[in-house]
Every structure is written in C-alpha cells, then in structure tokens.
A and B are shown apart, each in its own frame.
Chain A
Amino acid sequence: MTSAPAFRLRLISLASCALLLVLWWVATGPAGWVEATRFPDPATFLESLKQIALGNYAGGDLAKHVMTSSWLVARGFALAVVIGIGLGLAMSLSAFCRDFLGPIFNFVRPVPPLAWIPLALLWFGLGDASKLFVMALAASIPLVINTMTGVEQIDRTLLEAARVSGARGFNWLRHVILPGALPHIMIGLRLSLQTSWTVIVAAELLGAIWGVGKVLTAAKDDVYPGMIVVGMATVAVLGIVSSLLLGLAERRMVPWSKR
C-alpha cells in the first residue's frame, strides 16, 4: 500500500541518491573541487573496478580476494557460533559453570576485538590461524552475552509446563531452551557477524596474501584512490550480503519474531 506521502518520500530518496551521484561527478570532474589524488571520479572508479574484476590487483582478481575473506569469515563465524552459543548455554543452564566461568569471562570481555590481533600474531604468525583465533574469541563474546540473556528471559511458566510434560535432557535443550532463547541469540549472531568482518578486514590490513583488507593496504600504499573506493565498496557489499543471508536464516528459524 503506497499512500501519496509515502510515494513522495520515496521520490525524495531517489532524487537525493541521484543528486549525490551528480555531486560526485561534478566535484571530481568539471568543477575540480576535489583533486584526483584524494578521491576518484566515477570513471576512474569504474576503471579500477574493471581492472580488479577482470584483471589483477594485489596478487589476484576480485573474486580471489572476496573468496579468501569470505571463506575466512565463514570459518571464524562458525567457530564463534559453536563456542559462543555453547558457552552461553552452559553458563545459563549450570549455576556452577556460570559462577566459575563468569568472572573469567568478565575479565576477558572488556578487551576490544582488534586488541587481540597483536597477541594472535605473536602466537600464530601471519597465517589463517591467527585470524581464526581472533574471530573465534572476539565474535563469540556477544553470542555468550545474548544467549545468556535469551535463556534468562524465557517465561518460567513455560519452563515449568515443559518440565511437567516430561521434557528432559536433549529434548529440554532442543525444544524448550533453544527456541525460547532464539530471538536473543539472533541479535548475538548479528553482532558476531559484524565483529567477524571488522576483525578480518583489520587483520588483513596488518598482513595477508589475499583478501579485501589486502586490496585496501595495497591501494593505500600505491596511493590509488580508485582502488580504495573499490575496496571499501567491496567491504560494504560483503557486509550487506552476509547480513541479508542471516536475515533469511532468521526468518526460517524464528518465524514468530516480527522483524
């Protein structure tokens, strides 16, 4: 249902996008407000995109860099999901686990994700292992917190009803605790995915053979603004695509949440 004002607002959105593109073209081209060494004009941007998509830059083509980073994120995110949800469930179901691990967790939690990178470089070197280590560690933290919150806010009456109906052991976990905590776990997954991408880009900026972060470093060192924009756009698109995939998964797994 598109009412008249909604239609007008959409028109304004479209117009502002168009205006932005025109402004970009004017500022970098005819008007010359921005030097070409600072920001590329649209034609240069497309040329850089063509160069890396069809040819070669920083040791590979765009597909190679994107696949390298995505595969790393997929593995790191998977590790974080297993560790984060596992630890979160253990700490919300067993009082001993919570009491024992809670203070240790609170000791580790304030360290920002990227601050683990130097440590990981010393322990695992520049390869994939150090990137996976940082992702598994940093991206699991929001999952632990949100899994615990999710379990905590399950309606106690439901828990009692399930228990009275004989839910125990694996069934208890699979059909009562997990579905109850799932809306919050989804929030955790979203944060964790975001952390994974930030970590991978930062880690690749500090050292990598291929990857989107490697493209950014190479473009920075070459003072190549066109390729910098290509790299940033790639990071943004990868973030958008993976969060869309997560949204699809959410709609399948949590059909009752209204988002």
Chain B
Amino acid sequence: MKSNAASPRVAQPVPRDPHKPRKAVGMIAADRPPRRWIGALGVASFVLVWHLLALRIDSASTLATPVAVLLAFVSMLHEPFAGSTLGFHLLASLRRFGSGFGLAVLLGIPLGVAMGWFRTLDAAVKPAFDLLRFIAPIAWVPFAVLWFGTGFGGPVLIIFTGAFPACVIGAYGGAKLVDGRLLEAARMLGARSGRILLEVVVPSAMPAIVAALRVAAGNAWQSLVGAELIVATSGLAYIMVRGQMNRTIVIVLVGMLAIGLVGLVLEWLFRHFERYVKRRLGSAAA
C-alpha cells in the first residue's frame, strides 16, 4: 500500500513516518493510544446529561429525552407525519439529492477536465466560474423559487449549485496534475490531443475526480438541507420545519438524527467508492 516504487516521479528523500518510531514520546495526544472506556464514558455522560436536562426542563418545545427521540423516530417509520412516513420523506430528499448531484457531476466533471486540458477554455470560463463559486448556494433560493417553483426543480437548483464547484475544481486539479512524462510519451507515440485527453488525462485525473465526488456529495447534502428548510413541502429537512412551527422539539430532533445518519451513510459510500477506484487504478498511496 505504502510503496511509491510504481510512481514515476523523481526520487525524493523518504519522509520519516511521523507515527512509527516516535509514538512513545507522547507529548501530544495524537501519539497516545485512544482509551475506549473514556470514550464510552464521554458518550454515556453526554446522553445522561441530555436525559436529565430534558426531564428537568419538561417542556415539549425545548427538549425531549433521547429515549423519546428514538421512540418518535421508530414510530415515524410507519406512522405518517406531515403527510407521509419518514421513509417517504427520505425518498423525496434522495430524489432531489440524486438529481441535483447527478446534474452537477454530469456537467461539472467534463467542464473541469476540459478546463484543465485546454488553456484557452480555462481562460474563457474561469472569470464566470469564479463569480459563480462565490455565490453561496443558499443565495439561489429566490431564483430557484422564481424559475422552478418549490416542488422539485427549485431545491434541485440549490443542490446543483452546492455540488457543481467542487466537481469542477476537483476535475480541474486532477487534469492539471497529469504526469508530464506520460504526456510526452503519448505525444511522441503520435497520439493526438483528443486521444491524449481520453486515454491519458482522464485516467490519471480519476483519483482526484473521485475524491471531488465525495466532497461534492457532502456539499450537495448540506445544500439540500437549506433548500428543504426554505423551499420544499416534503423531505427530511421539511420535517424539521414542521416540528419547529408546531413547537415540538422531538420532531426537530428526529429530523436532525435522520439527516445526520443519511449524511454518514453517503460519506461512507463515497469513501469506499474512492478506495475502490484507487485500488483498481493501482495508486493507493497517491
């Protein structure tokens, strides 16, 4: 895994692995092994404090016990809230996520690779892209509503603007990092620009692209929360809006729990996809 022998880069001084021989020194926490029982203690006291606080406050609009949140979560799996069950809201969120994120990948990755490869295109698109990048996805809310309405299209635009920059930047960086020797070899063997792009640049940009997908998915999920809070009538974040309007904190906490869980699952999926692609390409160290 750690061997750099396959990498065609110029030989560099081998960096000392900072974790191996120095671990025993222990001047900072990172060099000491984690003690799981303290972690368990931490979680236990967090949940206990939460529980006791909730019991003491005893107000449906301020805090609910962890047990109540879990029970509400389970019951909402089969009992409808805000028109439908948790599963339905999850599906609505995932559909929006898939559309916005998919669109960003389909447009952003090719654009990024092309910008990294054709310098003229880079110069032409960069100013507009930089301007777009600095507009927070959430600032698209008014136009999202005005152009596409509050049902499906509006949120998708916001999710798209959240994921698109990361796709472009990742693919751009990947295409820029192509090994010069590979390019020279391909040129010397008579490959033309288009073919080099497809057979040299794209494969060597792949690790960067896959890493960008993970970042973009995270951004897309965050933007989805904003979009559904403001411009939607279904979805996991919409549950929280309803809970907040009804002043029932349990619903809000269930929404946060569900959003956090889905976010974790997405991160896990993309991390494994990234690892899988890197293994297939044989550049695990990168």
Stretch at the interface among A44-52, A60-68, A150-158, A245-253: A150-158
Q: Which of B124-180 contact A (CB under 8 A)?
A: 124-128, 131, 134-143, 145-147
Q: Which residues of A contact B25 (CB under 8 A)?
A: 156, 159-160
Q: Is B189 interfacial (CB 8 A cutoff)? A: no
Q: Which residues of A contact B18 (CB under 8 A)?
A: 153, 155-156
CB distance from A252 to the nearest CB of B (A): 23
Complex Cα distance, B130 from A13, in Å, reads: 12
Stretch at the interface among B36-44, B78-86, B99-107: B36-44
Q: Is B67 interfacial (CB 8 A cutoff)? A: no
Q: Is B119 interfacial (CB 8 A cutoff)? A: yes
Complex Cα distance, B136 from A239, in Å, reads: 8
Main secondary structure of the interface of A (DSSP, over half): helix
Complex Cα distance, B267 from A111, in Å, reads: 12
A100 touches B29 (CB 8 A): no
Q: Which residues of A contact B76 (CB under 8 A)?
A: none
Q: Which residues of B contact A159 (CB under 8 A)?
A: 25, 27-28
A103 touches B226 (CB 8 A): no
Given contacts A122-B62, A216-B142, A239-B136, are A16 and B124 in contact (CB under 8 A)? Answer: yes
- Which of A38, A99, A155, A197 contacts B147 (CB under 8 A)? A38
Complex Cα distance, B125 from A163, in Å, reads: 51
- Which of A118, A228, A236 contacts B143 (CB under 8 A)? A228
Q: Is B232 interfacial (CB 8 A cutoff)? A: no
Q: Is A92 interfacial (CB 8 A cutoff)? A: yes
Q: Which of A160-218 contact B (CB under 8 A)?
A: 160, 163, 177, 194, 197-198, 201-202, 205-206, 216-217
B46 touches A104 (CB 8 A): yes
Complex Cα distance, B121 from A12, in Å, reads: 9
B225 touches A152 (CB 8 A): no
Of the listed residues B22, B30, B35, B225, the one surrounded by the most CB atoms of chain A closer than 10 A to its CB is B30
Contact with B along A27-44 (1 / 0, CB 8 A): 000000000011000000
A151 touches B28 (CB 8 A): yes
Complex Cα distance, B41 from A12, in Å, reads: 61
Can you name the residue of chain A whose Cβ is closest to the Cβ of B264? A110
Given contacts A114-B225, A119-B249, A202-B230, are A232 and B140 in contact (CB under 8 A)? Answer: yes
Q: Which residues of A contact B114 (CB under 8 A)?
A: none
Complex Cα distance, B162 from A189, in Å, reads: 20
A16 touches B128 (CB 8 A): yes
Q: Which residues of B contact A112 (CB under 8 A)?
A: 221-222, 225, 259, 263
Q: Is B247 interfacial (CB 8 A cutoff)? A: yes
Total chain A interface residues with beta-carbon distance under 8 A: 70
Q: Is A127 interfacial (CB 8 A cutoff)? A: no
Can you name the residue of chain A whose Cβ is closest to the Cβ of B132? A236
Q: Which residues of B contact A155 (CB under 8 A)?
A: 18
Contact with A along B27-70 (1 / 0, CB 8 A): 11111101110111111001000000000000001100000000
Q: Is B252 interfacial (CB 8 A cutoff)? A: yes
Q: Is B120 interfacial (CB 8 A cutoff)? A: yes
CB distance from A152 to the nearest CB of B (A): 4
Complex Cα distance, B62 from A229, in Å, reads: 38
Given contacts A110-B263, A201-B138, are A122 and B28 in contact (CB under 8 A)? Answer: no
Q: Which residues of B contact A99 (CB under 8 A)?
A: 34-36, 38-39, 42
Complex Cα distance, B143 from A91, in Å, reads: 43
Stretch at the interface among B204-212, B236-244, B278-286: B236-244
CB distance from A247 to the nearest CB of B (A): 14
CB distance from B144 to the nearest CB of A (A): 9
Can you name the residue of chain A whose Cβ is closest to the Cβ of B136? A198
- Which of B28, B127, B249, B259 contacts A111 (CB under 8 A)? B259
A111 touches B146 (CB 8 A): no
Q: Is A54 interfacial (CB 8 A cutoff)? A: no
Q: Which residues of A contact B31 (CB under 8 A)?
A: 156
Complex Cα distance, B263 from A112, in Å, reads: 8
Q: Which residues of A contact B267 (CB under 8 A)?
A: 110
Can you name the residue of chain B whose Cβ is closest to the Cβ of A123? B62
Identify the A interface with B (CB < 8 A): 5, 9-10, 12-13, 15-17, 20, 37-38, 91-104, 107, 110-119, 121-123, 148, 151-156, 159-160, 163, 177, 194, 197-198, 201-202, 205-206, 216-217, 219-220, 223, 225, 228, 231-232, 235-236, 239-240
Q: List 11 A-B contacts (CB under 8 A).
A: A12-B123, A20-B127, A37-B146, A92-B28, A103-B43, A110-B261, A110-B263, A115-B260, A159-B25, A223-B146, A236-B134
